[in-house]
Structure 1
Amino acid sequence: MRVVVIGGTGHIGTYLVPRLVEAGHQVTCVCRQQRNPYHPNEAWKQVQLVSLDRSQLEQQGKFGQAIADLNPQVVIDLICFQIDSARQLVSALQGRLDHFLHCGTMWVHGHSVEVPTDETQPRHPFGDYGIQKAAIEDFLLREIDQRSLPTTVLHPGHIVGPGWLPINPAGNLNPAVFAQLEQGQEVLLPNLGMETLHHVHADDVALGFMQALTHREQAVGECFHIVSAKALTLRGYAESLATWYGQPAKLRFVPWEEFRQQVSAQDAHLTWDHIAHSPNGSIEKARRLLDYQPRYSSLEAIQQALSWLKNHSV
């Protein structure tokens, strides 16, 4: 198949593009600039790289047609964040593709009602990112005739892997939290530390896209959670990492308002966003229809990322 991957040199594309090449597909990677993927792979030598500035072309009303001009049979869009972007792309691709795959997010659910959350639960998105992604999903799966654009939407959790910093047990990106756990120092957690995070290795997300392509008949017109088998509580995450570091977990739990006052504004903002969502997704639908079998647990994916960062002195 002729496959165009939009945003193919990022976290997911680093693993997805080589998988596509190895499966025998003819792959074109569209990105804004000719940046290297996070990890080298010989498969990239067989990939056509096309540099397109999506924002600029969308302002000119030309991005969708630019993708259509590449004559794909399959388009995988990893970087669509606004409903208007989705509408422009779809208008140019309807009636021309065998399969269109969109990367969504677990954030479309907003807060959970029952956990683990499955794909049938009502959406309560909040925050611009979740609201826009939910609108895109609704547009792609409910407004578009699937005969004119066979579509699948995949919803990853917190993507993690070698090359970048994971969301930490406090629900933000401050690397000091990992250092404190490694050194046996006290770590501050909000509330009782029972909110959840749901990490997924980037290669398992790539696997999800591959399985959706392989099981096209079951995938078209559907959305799927693509996460690890189980979410982590903040407390369980911190305790497990401390054990991995060979240290006792010294955790102090404080009410949200006290936590917010003791960390930076940026850390507080990220923590609140993560604990307010507390994603905990079921992968039973993906297992049943796509034979999706993630290789990594959340903790294994996180540990691999942390080991890479330490070995590369990042």
Structure 2
Amino acid sequence: MARVVVIGATGHIGTYLVPRLVTAGHEVVAVTRGSSRPYRPASSWAEVEHVVLDRSALEKEGKFGSRIKDLNADIVIDMICFTLKSAQHLVEALDGSVQHFLHTGTIWTHGHATVVPTPEDIAKNPFGEYGTHKAAIESFLLAKARRHGFPATIVHPGHIVGPGWAPLNPAGHFNPGVFTTLARGEQLALPNFGMETVHHVHADDVAQVFMCAISNWAASIGEAFHAVSPAAMTLRGYAEAMAAWFGQKPDLVFEPFEEWAKRQDPDEARATWDHIARSPNCSIDKARTRIGYQPRYTSLEAVEEAVTWLISDGQVAQ
């Protein structure tokens, strides 16, 4: 088995990935800033080596890459790289010393989709700082892998869902109060006709894609894979399904986005625009056929688990 370094190990995905790696027999090193804990407990964390590193500070000193290299990993999984400069710094340090390097991307690298379900390898139209930076990292890593043999794989998660944090809701933002509105059968306003899409994924299914890529090294090197549920949802369909889950009949009204936004919190309206302007609907055919990804959760099943936690935590009232 391999020695695996996971950078950002206690976040949404790492909470599920690290125990999977330990169970598979790998020696795992969890690199964090030391300020966070996994979202759910697991006895396997006792077998994990913990290393505290401040990435931002070390990158300013030009030392982060060398500190990761000194951990002598066979596999490095980077959960928290957000700029091309950061990626280049780490790859320069690890080039020639690792068997596999896996980067966490995002489906936002697609920007405006031209085909749905959207395959990984179609021409991309990213916009916004996050999607644009992640697209630049992807281009760099794929070129480094395909032209120079650096063993990189990219995993692009959708809207990550799991117990411990609020999921993207049917209004396209993260206020748990939307679920309370649906639980009580109250009227919920949605932008436009509610036909824009969102594409959730359970954090454990994202972890599964990483495990599949590691287990299928030859098929995953130099490739990018979506980590999403089997199907995206429209905002309207999502709202109707959640109302039914609460035992309610949905009471939905629809308004042009500009009118709808006037009655929303400005930050929440901006978050909604960010999501519906992209309206992701991504294919998992490549991940299924090449590395054997079989998602356990539909979008709704993933959200229902998260909302169950929100109810128990007192963030959603019925």
**Same-fold call, TM > 0.5?**
yes
Q: CA deviation at 1:313?
A: 2.3
State the match for 1:289 in structure 2.
290
Per-residue Cα deviation, 1:59-83 (whole angstroms, up to 9, x for no partner) = 1110000000000000000000011
> How big is the alpha-carbon RMSD for the aligned residues of Structure 1 and Structure 2?
0.9
Q: Give the structure 1 partner of residue 174 of structure 2.
A: 173
**Residue by residue, what CA displacement relative to the aligned partner does 1:98-150 show, whole Å, maximum 9, x if unpaired?**
00000000000001111000012111000000000000000000145566420
Relative to the length of structure 1, the TM-score reads 0.98
User: Which residue of structure 2 lines up, in the alignment, with residue 113 of structure 1?
Assistant: 114
Alignment of 1:59-98 (within 5 A): 59-98=60-99
Matches within 5 A, 1:118-267: 118-144=119-145, 148-267=149-268
- Find the counterpart in structure 2 of residue 30 from structure 1: 31
Local SS of the residue matching 1:11: coil
The answer as to whether partners of 1:186 and 1:251 remain within 8 angstroms in 2 is yes
Determine helix, strand or coil for the equivalent of 2:34: coil
Residue by residue over 1:8-37, the C-alpha shift from the partner in whole angstroms, topping out at 9 and shown as x without a partner, is 000000000000000000000001115221
Amino acid at match of 2:193: L
Task: Name the counterpart of 1:40.
Answer: 41
Cα pair 1:34 1:49 within 8 Å, conserved = no
Q: Work out whether residues 144 and 150 of structure 2, in 8 Å CA contact, stay in contact via their aligned partners in 1.
A: no
Distance 1:173 1:42, change over 3 A: same
Alpha-carbon distance in structure 1 between the residues aligned to 2:146 and 2:190: 47
Q: Name 1:273's counterpart in structure 2.
A: 274
Count of equivalent residues: 314
SS at match of 1:49: strand
Moved over 3 A (4+): 143-148
Cα offset, 1:309, TM superposition? 1.6
Q: TM-score, normalised by structure 2?
A: 0.97
Question: Partner residue of 1:299?
Answer: 300
Give the Cα–Cα distance (whole angstroms) in 1 for the partners of residues 306 and 189 of structure 2.
Answer: 22
Q: Secondary structure at the match of 2:13?
A: helix
Percent of pairs with identical residues: 56
Structure 1 spans left out of the alignment, 5+ residues: none
CA distance in 1, matches of 2:148, 2:135: 22
Distance 2:245 2:151 in 1: 44
User: 2:74, 2:81 → 1: CA distance?
Assistant: 19
CA contact (8 A) 2:146 2:222 kept: no
Q: Distance in 2 between matches of 1:193 and 1:108?
A: 23
2-side partners of 1:313 and 1:4: how far apart?
36
CA distance in 2, matches of 1:274, 1:287: 25
Q: Is the 8 A contact 1:28 1:49 kept in 2?
A: yes
- Which letter does structure 2 place at the counterpart of 1:218? A
